[in-house]
């Protein structure tokens, strides 16, 4: 089952500068074989369900290993059976209607 997801992963208890933690998550996602698309409030990925959620788990583990005692994620994800759709398809289908 393919899933498209938008991950916003936030470490708590590490101060205000979160970008090193977000960068660490990007590396974890790439190592998981995903092609993360970073945006200003999260990161979009697409892939097999198990691959995506195993990568999310590794992101939590990586941030804990970097010293974050709490890690909080807000995730949006979608699956569909009617047709295949990519991240780029989603953006394009809106842009065609603007």
Closest CA to 38 of 47, 48, 29, 51: 29
Q: Closest separation between CB of residue 33 and its own copies, Å?
A: 17
User: Does the protein bind its own copies through residue 4 (CB under 8 A)?
Assistant: yes
- C-beta of residue 47 within 8 angstroms of C-beta of residue 7: no
User: Does the protein bind its own copies through residue 33 (CB under 8 A)?
Assistant: no
**Alpha carbon distances (Å) from 55 to 14, 38, 52, 67, 81:** 22, 15, 5, 19, 23
Residues in contact with its own copies by the rule CB under 8 A: 1, 3-6, 8, 10, 12-13, 15-16, 18-20, 22-23, 26-27, 37-42, 44, 49-50, 53, 57, 60-61, 64, 69-82, 87-88, 90-91, 93-98
């Amino acid at each position: 089952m393919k899933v498209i997801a938008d991950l916003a992963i936030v470490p708590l208890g590490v101060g205000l500068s979160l970008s090193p933690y977000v960068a660490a998550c990007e590396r974890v996602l790439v190592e998981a074989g995903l092609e993360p698309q970073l945006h200003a409030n999260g990161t979009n990925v697409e892939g097999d369900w198990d691959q995506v959620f195993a990568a999310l788990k590794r992101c939590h583990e990586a941030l804990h290993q970097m010293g974050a005692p709490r890690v909080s994620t807000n995730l949006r994800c979608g699956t569909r059976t009617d047709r295949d759709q990519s991240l780029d398809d989603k953006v394009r289908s809106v842009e065609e209607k603007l």
